[in-house]
């Protein structure tokens, strides 16, 4: 019998000068970047939390605490790779990922395929099994004012 597990993840980081903007493991050309203890890749963090949540495991904030020096500047690829290892340990595989990036700016449509490829490479998922969309917040709130970027991700895991 095939077991199916679904997870959801969410992350938000504020934008500021002096940081690189990294989403889905891809560096985006923009004047500001996301602020965080790690590389602040909100998309990868949301996907990793969706995976860990589906498996009933602690979230990335518990596994990679921002109070530890060893996690400072940690790349999103390391966090996603950890999630991939947990999928394997629990004898599951990713069926598909569906995610939304919410950013008033910059425009991200030209980067989505590169993000799919980057995420797929780390998680060993074909890019066509990764749904990725970008939307704005219609000028509302911190995201709409261009102060932050958020991401929401769902993942469907199937037993091997």
93-107 pLDDT, tens digit per residue, is: 999 999 999 999 999
The average confidence (pLDDT) of the chain is: 97
CA 125 to chain centre: 14
Q: What is the pLDDT of residue 82?
A: 98
Q: How far apart are CA 89 and CA 155, in angstroms?
A: 17
Domains of the chain: 4-159 (3.30.1330.50)
Cα three-residue angle 148-153-155, rounded to 5 degrees? 165
pLDDT of amino acid 5: 98
- The structure's pTM equals 0.97
CA dihedral 147, 78, 133, 104 (to 10 degrees): 10
Note if the bond before 89 is cis, omega within 30 degrees: no
CA distance linking residue 72 with residue 88, whole number of Å: 26
Strands (E) in 18-138, as ranges, are: 21-23, 26-28, 32-34, 92-102, 130-135
Quick one: average pLDDT of 75-98?
97
Helix, strand or coil, per DSSP, at residue 131: strand
What pLDDT does residue 43 have?
98
Return the pLDDT at 42: 98
The per-residue pLDDT for range 113-127, each reduced to its tens digit, is: 999 999 999 999 999
């Amino acid at each position: 019998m095939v077991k199916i597990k679904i997870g959801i993840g969410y992350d938000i980081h504020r934008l500021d000068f002096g940081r690189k903007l990294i989403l889905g493991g891809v560096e985006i050309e923009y004047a500001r970047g996301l602020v965080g203890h790690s590389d602040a890749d909100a998309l990868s963090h949301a996907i990793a939390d969706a995976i860990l949540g589906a498996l009933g495991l602690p979230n990335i904030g518990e596994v990679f605490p921002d109070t530890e020096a060893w996690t400072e500047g940690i790349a999103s690829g390391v966090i996603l790779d950890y999630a991939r290892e947990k999928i394997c340990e629990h004898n599951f595989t990713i069926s598909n990922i569906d995610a939304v990036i919410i950013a008033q700016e910059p425009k991200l449509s030209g980067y989505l395929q590169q993000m799919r490829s980057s995420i797929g490479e780390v998680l060993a998922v074909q890019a066509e099994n990764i749904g990725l969309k970008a939307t704005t917040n219609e000028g509302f709130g911190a995201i709409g004012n261009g102060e932050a970027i958020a991401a929401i991700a769902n993942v469907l895991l199937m037993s091997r």
